[in-house]
């Protein structure tokens, strides 16, 4: 969850680290800190809250003599968001400094052992255990590399470290086990970071560390080793991204920019997976071999990715008659698994670093299931669990609340469903219709986005309400789950989504004049009239009604506010309702003065279970 960055080189270290941490702030903003090794001392600066608090402290810091440093942005796990729990953590003699992303699972036992040996802990974090272990081993070996190799043998869990020692200048050690870490190689120095955005503009080549590996960074070279100390040969790859690709452009927030990128991402995916406009190509996957003999599908994901999986379940089962089970990865890993060799497990993760999903896929592997992964990061940890991957091609998503990656997941899942139907020999006229109807969606999505001003006006009417209800039927239930999640994430409003037919079995007790209700109604849906009846029930109890309706002929006598979207078939409707609900949440959050891109308590990459 946390973000770490390290730099050794000729550029102004403070500025490089601040820029890197700013680009990683989506990973946490409970506290931040930096350490700089100078000629005679290590300077450490830490601050609670957002990175701007650290930036103010650093305005008067004299770091000009330093050519190396490490930085950290924290999402609190062990210990509250206090300055004493902020990173970097230091050894008792002040010479070793360390930043950490991950969780050390056996830290309590190690802490007790170290306390018995005389080490005095200053924080409630698990991280402090690691720095004291390294200090203890350094006393034996008088070598930072040897001390790190010895110390990591004691640690269980997930960790990515950047480590420096006062007596060994021009050296940063970067360590990876079950937590992402990438090395950057540049003309003016070398870097390490939790994610690529921190490196853009500073380096021109990258190397991904794998589990149980570490790197030793100097100003002019980088060496790689495994946890046994054996030297490794690595082939750097070019870093092709430019700084403009992670800028907001003319948009006020990354979230708004990413919402408006969705039509082009849909076009990109169609071009990638259907280059001739007719045939679906899964790019390197032997679809017949992988899909022909499956008897069931399990979709494993978390959060927004889970909601995309629920939508896909409706389409896959309808087109193929293959049963689909959708499980939250955090629950899957603790349940009895009925997975077998005839099961295809779809793991979905935008970041490719979602710890629960990775653990679930590893367990499915033990059951001999085939593993197909959908991810926006083809270089991520989840890829190592997969027999094959379906890339989302959404580009770097900076805002914590997922938008463009959700619609990318939907599109790729649709294409997978169509291909599966073809491989199984059950594709029919409806399959072909849906496949080609996808090509109309980018323009229709642009129509939806062009009506943003009207959505902003609707949002202003409802920003003062503290609770919301969302209702939908069939595939629209997955849509309202995602809409309610977006509103919760960025506005902090208590928003709950329900199957519309279940409203009268309990949730209708919540309805009164202070309860806005958002309903999705898709023309020609078999449940259109039923959900109209559900809305009548809400109206009879004085609830405020907002309707998303895909029927331009519908005469409104029911809704307080009606939002029309282009006519679309029910199966593809989530691709048009999603941008509407994203913009609704965005503008409500703006009216409430929320920090849209960095909502409280959340982080973009959930790298801990």
> Over the range 314-329, which residues count as b (16 or more CB within 10 Å of their CB) and which as e?
bbbebbbebebbbbbb
In whole angstroms, give the CA distance from residue 163 to residue 70.
8
Residue positions annotated with a catalytic role: 2, 604
Nearest-5° angle of CA 118, CA 124, CA 129? 50
β-strand 370-375 against 343-349: which pairing, if any?
Answer: parallel
pTM, to two decimals: 0.86
Cα gap 548→451, rounded to integer Å: 13
Q: How far apart are CA 185 and CA 437, in angstroms?
A: 45
**Maximal C-alpha separation, the chain:** 81
Angle at 341 between CA 338 and CA 342, to 5 degrees: 85
Rounded distance, CA 98 to CA 121, Å? 15
Gap between the Cα atoms of 150 and 175, Å rounded: 12
Cis, peptide link before residue 88, omega less than 30° from 0: yes
3-state secondary structure of 291: helix
Long-range contacts of 266-270 (CB under 8 A, 24+ apart): 266/407, 266/408, 266/411, 266/438, 266/441, 266/442, 266/445, 266/575, 267/442, 268/393, 269/392, 269/393, 269/408, 269/411, 269/412, 269/415, 270/411, 270/438, 270/439, 270/442
Name the percent of the chain lying above pLDDT 70. Answer: 98
Which domains are assigned to the chain?
3-245 (3.60.20.10), 248-450 (3.40.50.10490), 451-598 (3.40.50.10490)
User: Quick one: CA torsion of 420, 423, 426, 427, rounded to 10 degrees?
Assistant: 70
Q: Residue 285: its pLDDT value, please? A: 85
Task: Please provide residue 206's backbone torsions phi and psi, each rounded to the nearest 5 degrees.
Answer: -135, 155
Tens digit of each residue's pLDDT (9 = 90 or more) over 564-597: 999 999 999 999 999 999 999 999 999 999 999 9
* pLDDT tens readout for residues 154-185: 999 989 999 999 999 999 999 999 888 999 99
State how far the Cα of 573 lies from the Cα of 567, in Å rounded to an integer.
9
pLDDT tens profile 193-244 = 998 989 999 999 999 999 999 999 999 999 999 999 999 999 999 987 766 6
**Beta strands across the sheet bearing 544-549:** 494-499, 467-472, 516-521, 544-549, 561-564
Residue 601: DSSP 8-state: T
Measured between alpha carbons, how far is 519 from 312 in angstroms, rounded to an integer? Answer: 20
Q: What are phi and psi of 548, to 5 degrees?
A: -100, 110
Tokens of 164: 């420096």
Report d(CA 437, CA 566) in Å as an integer: 13
Say if CB 8 and CB 170 are below 8 A apart: yes
- Distant-in-sequence, close-in-space partners of 45: CB < 8 Å, separation ≥ 6: 33, 34, 35, 54, 57, 58, 61
Measure the CA dihedral 506/509/511/513, to 10°. Answer: 180
Are 297 and 316 contacting, i.e. CB atoms less than 8 angstroms apart?
yes
Nearest to 202 by CA among 429, 379, 23: 23
DSSP letters, 244-260, are: GGGS-TTSSSHHHHHHH
Calculate the alpha carbon distances from 176 to 9, 77, 183, 537 in Å.
22, 19, 11, 56
Is the distance from CB of 71 to CB of 135 less than 8 angstroms?
no
Query: 3-state DSSP call for residue 45?
Result: strand
Contact 76, 30 (CB under 8 A): yes
Instruction: Read off the pLDDT band of 520 (50, 70, 90).
Output: very high
Q: What does the pLDDT read at residue 589? A: 97
Residue 463 has pLDDT above 70, yes or no: yes
The tens digit of pLDDT for each residue in 251-260 reads 999 999 999 9
In this structure, the number of other CB atoms found within 10 A of the CB of residue 25 comes to 21
Q: Residues 26-63: pLDDT tens digits?
A: 888 889 999 999 877 899 999 998 899 999 999 888 88
Q: Please provide residue 141's backbone torsions phi and psi, each rounded to the nearest 5 degrees.
A: -100, -25
What tens digit of pLDDT does each residue of 412-456 get? 999 999 999 999 999 999 999 999 999 999 999 999 999 999 999
């Amino acid at each position: 969850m946390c973000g770490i960055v390290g730099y050794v080189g000729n550029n102004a270290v403070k500025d490089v680290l601040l820029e890197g941490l700013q680009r990683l702030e989506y990973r946490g903003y409970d506290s931040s800190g930096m350490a700089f090794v100078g000629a005679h001392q290590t300077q450490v600066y830490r601050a609670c809250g957002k990175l701007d608090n650290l930036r103010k402290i650093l305005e008067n810091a004299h770091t000009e003599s330093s050519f190396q440093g490490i930085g950290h942005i924290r999402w609190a796990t062990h210990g509250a968001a206090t300055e004493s729990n902020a990173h970097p953590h230091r050894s008792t003699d002040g010479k070793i400094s360390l930043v950490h992303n991950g969780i050390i699972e056996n830290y309590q036992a190690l802490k007790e052992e170290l306390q018995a040996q005389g080490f005095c802990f200053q924080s409630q974090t698990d991280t402090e255990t690691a720095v004291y272990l390294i200090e203890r081993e350094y006393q034996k070996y008088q070598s930072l590399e040897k001390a790190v190799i010895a110390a990591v043998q004691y640690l269980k869990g997930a960790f990515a470290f950047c480590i420096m020692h006062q007596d060994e200048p021009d050296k940063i050690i970067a360590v990876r086990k079950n937590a992402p870490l990438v090395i950057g190689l540049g003309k003016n120095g070398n870097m390490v970071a939790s994610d690529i955005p921190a490196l853009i503009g500073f380096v021109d080549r990258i190397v991904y560390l794998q589990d149980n590996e570490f790197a030793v960074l100097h100003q002019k070279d980088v060496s790689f080793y495994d946890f046994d100390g054996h030297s490794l040969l690595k082939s750097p790859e070019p870093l092709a991204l430019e700084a403009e690709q992670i800028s907001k452009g003319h948009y006020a927030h990354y979230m708004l920019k990413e919402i408006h990128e969705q039509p082009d991402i849909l076009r990109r995916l169609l071009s990638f997976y259907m280059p001739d406009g007719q045939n679906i190509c899964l790019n390197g996957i032997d679809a017949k071999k992988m899909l022909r003999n499956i008897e069931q599908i399990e979709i494993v994901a978390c959060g927004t990715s889970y909601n995309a999986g629920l939508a896909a379940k409706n389409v896959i089962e309808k087109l193929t008659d293959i049963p689909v089970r959708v499980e939250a990865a955090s629950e899957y890993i603790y349940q009895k698994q009925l997975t077998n060799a005839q099961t295809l497990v779809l793991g979905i993760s935008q970041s490719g670093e979602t710890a629960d999903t990775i653990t679930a896929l590893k367990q499915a592997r033990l059951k001999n299931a085939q593993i197909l992964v959908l991810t926006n990061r083809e270089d991520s940890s989840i890829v190592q669990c997969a027999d094959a991957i379906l890339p989302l091609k959404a580009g770097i998503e900076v805002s914590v609340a997922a938008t463009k990656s959700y619609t990318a997941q939907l599109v790729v899942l649709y294409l997978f469903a169509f291909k599966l139907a073809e491989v199984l020999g059950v594709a029919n006229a409806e399959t072909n219709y849906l496949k080609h109807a996808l090509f109309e969606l980018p323009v229709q999505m642009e129509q939806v986005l062009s009506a943003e001003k009207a959505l902003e006006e609707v949002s202003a009417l409802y920003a003062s309400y503290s609770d919301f209800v969302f209702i939908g039927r069939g595939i629209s239930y997955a849509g309202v789950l995602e809409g309610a999640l977006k509103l919760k994430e960025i506005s902090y409003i208590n928003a709950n989504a329900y199957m519309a037919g279940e409203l009268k079995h309990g949730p209708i007790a919540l309805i009164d004049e202070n309860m806005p209700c958002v309903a999705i109604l898709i023309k020609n849906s078999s449940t259109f009239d039923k959900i109209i009846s559900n809305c009548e029930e809400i109206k009879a109890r004085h609830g405020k009604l907002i309707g998303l309706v895909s029927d331009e002929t519908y005469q409104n006598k029911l809704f307080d506010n009606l939002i029309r979207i282009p006519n679309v078939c029910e199966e593809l409707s989530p691709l048009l309702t999603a941008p509407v609900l994203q913009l609704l949440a965005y503008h409500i959050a703006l009216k409430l003065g929320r920090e849209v891109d960095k909502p409280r308590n959340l982080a973009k990459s959930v790298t801990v279970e």
